[in-house]
Structure 1
Amino acid sequence: MPIERIYAPGLPVPAGHYSHATRAGNLICVSGQLPMRPDGTHTGELPFEEQARQTLENVSTVLAAAGAGLQDVIEVTVYLVGVDHWKAFNEIYARHFGEWKPARAVVPVGALHYGYLIEIAARAWVEK
């Protein structure tokens, strides 16, 4: 089965050796997304809530480029700097996903690139 690399129009080209996502058949794996703005500028100075919203928007943009949406997500891994923002994140996340509740892990970490407070990776399943 061929694996397709996916690059989302409107997001900066990844800085490292990875693609925004890969697709193998019906499975889409979204690389960890940071709260970088679509124009490539950083948001590390912004409050956590704005970083969380931008990160979820970036995940949505990558999913759309792969022909999917949040309703197709089956698993999410969230990396939060510390645990202080857990409650705020859960509220923002619930607003984005609505009634849909994919499997999820939230992992507290010590630090992320550029002073960011959040990173999100996801997997989605779509019918061809």
Structure 2
Amino acid sequence: MSHQVIQTDRAPLAIGTYSQAIKAGNMVYLSGQIPLVPETMKLAEGGMEVQIRQVLENLKAVAEAAGGNLSQIVKLNVYLTDLTHFSLINTAMTKYFHPPYPARAVIGVASLPKDSAVEMDAIIHLNH
């Protein structure tokens, strides 16, 4: 099976040796997104809610570049440097997702790239 590299300027450029996403058949594997603002490549300023929203907007942009959308995410991984923000993830998800919600893991980590407090990656099943 061949695969396709997904790239959009509506999401931050890769800051390492990876692609924003890879499409393989009807599956799209989205790389981790941190709250970088695509236009500046700097972390979004504001509280944790702003950072979570930026991450979700970045994932949304990559999903759309692949021909999909957030509602097609079947697996979402969330990485937090402080698990006390768990409830903020739940609140943000109600604004970006609708039932049935994707399968999800929220994982506490010691650190993330660029000293971000949150990162998310996802798997999309394109069902069209």
Sort the Cα spacing of 1:23 and 1:50 in 2 relative to 1 into closer, same or farther, 3 A. same
Instruction: Give yes or no for contact 1:32–1:122 (8 Å, CA) kept in 2.
Output: yes
5 Å-filtered alignment, 1:22-37, equals 22-37=22-37
AA aligned to 2:127 is: E
- Which residue does 1:80 correspond to in 2? 80
Q: CA deviation at 1:93?
A: 1.5
Question: Unpaired segments of 5 or more residues in structure 1?
Answer: none
- Which residue does 1:100 correspond to in 2? 100
- Which residue does 2:117 correspond to in 1? 117
Q: CA deviation at 1:12?
A: 3.1
Sort the Cα spacing of 1:36 and 1:81 in 2 relative to 1 into closer, same or farther, 3 A. same
For normalisation by structure 2, the TM-score amounts to: 0.93
1: CA distance, partners of 2:127 / 2:85: 35
> Over aligned residues, Cα RMSD in angstroms?
1.4
**Identity rate, percent:** 34
Question: SS at the partner of 1:10?
Answer: coil
Is it true that 1:67 corresponds to 2:74 in the alignment? Answer: no
Deviates more, 1:5-14 or 1:118-127: 5-14
Q: CA deviation at 1:88?
A: 1.3
2: CA distance, partners of 1:44 / 1:72: 26
What CA deviation, in whole Å up to 9, does each residue of 1:48-107 have, x standing for no partner?
Answer: 110000000000000000000011110000001121111112111121102230100000
Deviates more, 1:15-24 or 1:96-105: 96-105
AA aligned to 1:83 is: L
Question: SS at the partner of 1:30?
Answer: strand
Question: Unpaired segments of 5 or more residues in structure 2?
Answer: none
Deviates more, 1:83-92 or 1:35-44: 35-44
2: CA distance, partners of 1:59 / 1:100: 18
